[in-house]
Amino acid sequence: MTAISVATTNGHHVHQHHHQHVDVIDDSIVAEMQSSTPFEGPEKLLEIWFAPSADHLPVVDEAKYGSGYVDGDGNPKRQGLRRIHRAVWEEMLDIVKCKVLSVIVGEELDAYLLSESSLFVSPHKIILKTCGTTLNLLGLPRILDIASRYCGFSKVWRCFYSRKSFMFPERQLGPHREWGEEVRYLDAFFRDGSAYTVGKVNGDHWLLYLTSPVEDDDDALEPVTYGSRLRMYTPSPTPSLEDTPTLSDLQQDYTIEILMSHLSTSARLPFFYHQKEAADGRGHAYAAKLSTELGIDTIFPVDRTTLDAFAFDPCGYSANALIDWGGGEGYYTIHVTPEAGWSYASFECNVPLPTRDSSALGVRGLDPDLPDLQTLVRNVVNIFDPGRLSVTLFVSTSAKSDVAIETAQKVFKQALSPRGYYRNEKINYEFGGYDLAFASFRRLGTKGRNMADKD
């Protein structure tokens, strides 16, 4: 695996070290440190594809677009969106209301750790994940403008926006106050977008908006110009048969999310810190210690993982990791809000994983050193010990998708039932080009309620 640097915003490099122990303050002090203002842990997740793969980038005139580019550092994979100056992305993030803490510069993508979650930049797509009261969707016009202005992307290939139901929707701002407002905002940019609610409307549920490539772009309009009025944005057309990417060109898209709430006291306590531990730029160093203590740094093989984590003062934790999985470079990201009353942790990963009773979830060429899906779910849940959780697997459609999705449902149950969880919802969904497995679980005998409980 090629060495990957983790550079903080002040230019210093983070060195990962293993530590034997992390001191945790006692729960009486935690109560004093906890904020009385609720924090919205569940994230808004915006994913925009400007091309079907990194092999399908537009040819650009360096003289025209060079002002927005960084040096490619001799890496032929550092193309498209990855060549844009960090300062350009930071200006977009100012609109969203979050800041860059550090960056992992990978072989195939870059992982930005943010003050409110994460940003992942690949040559052909961008993933923006933000929590709290950030204005995620307000970054969309600027993202479209950046992609057009600096990279020559005139259209969007696909767009996805998803989130778990908010704990405190009344605290949200802009279009995020209600799901209907978010849908209307996205519809102003995209034709033929589809919006879905998966799960109990009066309980935990998962919301999804997605677009599909269209067959005819006769009505496509010019891309949005930053600062102009909103204009309709039409997804790129499905390519002709001779231009259609082969399986070797276009790997199956695969994303698993584990969204957890009602974390146990013992799981929450490590994420509260002495102020001195997080002071003077030591948030990265302390988080590295904590990642080792809790086993976060071994979720995937250590020699395949580059982990960048940050501990917030006085509480909270975020981490990005890049994974060399044998078929390319993937990521996982973790974010933790440990405060009682609104405790929450999320895990998201796009590395295709095998199952114990099959070679893979419809994906070939997987690395045998990777954890299987059941082990991954079990290990993540063991770290955060939630009273409630939902698990989603979102996979691009293939000939094996139906079997893969049902296999995933069995795996989720097998991983969680021995830990005392019962499944209270199981939903399989077919979208345009994608299949979804959604399941929610609750631990038997769970006591206590989050302030945000609606059911």
Q: Classify residue 164 by its DSSP letter.
A: E
Distant-in-sequence, close-in-space partners of 317: CB < 8 Å, separation ≥ 6? 271, 287, 290, 309, 310, 311, 334, 335, 336, 338
Using a CB cutoff of 8 Å and minimum separation of 24, what contacts does 291-296 make? Answer: 291/319, 292/18, 292/19, 292/22, 293/19, 293/21, 293/22, 294/22, 294/270, 294/383, 295/379, 295/383, 296/334, 296/383
For the chain, the first-to-last Cα distance in angstroms comes to 47
Distant-in-sequence, close-in-space partners of 104: CB < 8 Å, separation ≥ 6? 4, 5, 6, 110, 111, 113, 306, 308, 320, 322
**Does residue 205 have an active-site annotation?**
no
Interatomic CA distance for residues 64 and 151, integer angstroms: 10
Lookup: tokens for 263: 């974390």
Residue 409: what residue type? Answer: Q
Interatomic CA distance for residues 409 and 16, integer angstroms: 36
Interatomic CA distance for residues 120 and 323, integer angstroms: 13
The answer to whether 175 touches 395, Cβ cutoff 8 Å, is no
* Among 102, 116, 117, 291, the one annotated catalytic: 117
* Among 102, 236, 318, 346, the one annotated catalytic: 318
* Among 40, 329, 339, 348, the one annotated catalytic: 40
Alpha-helical regions (H) of 194-343 = 265-268, 275-278, 283-294
Residue 197: what residue type? Answer: T
**Does residue 43 have an active-site annotation?**
yes
Helix (H) or strand (E) holding 116: none
The answer to whether 134 touches 116, Cβ cutoff 8 Å, is yes
Conformation bin of residue 150: beta by default, left when phi > 0, alpha when psi is -120 to 50 = alpha
Quote the distance between the C-alpha of residue 297 and its chain's center. 17
**Does residue 117 have an active-site annotation?**
yes
* Among 262, 335, 346, 348, the one annotated catalytic: 335
Distant-in-sequence, close-in-space partners of 144: CB < 8 Å, separation ≥ 6? 48, 156, 189, 223, 224, 233
The answer to whether 132 touches 211, Cβ cutoff 8 Å, is no
**Does residue 131 have an active-site annotation?**
yes
Cα distances (angstroms) measured from residue 226 to each of 47, 95, 147, 148:
19, 12, 11, 10
Residue 236: what residue type? Answer: S
* Active site (catalytic) residues: 40, 43, 117, 131, 318, 335
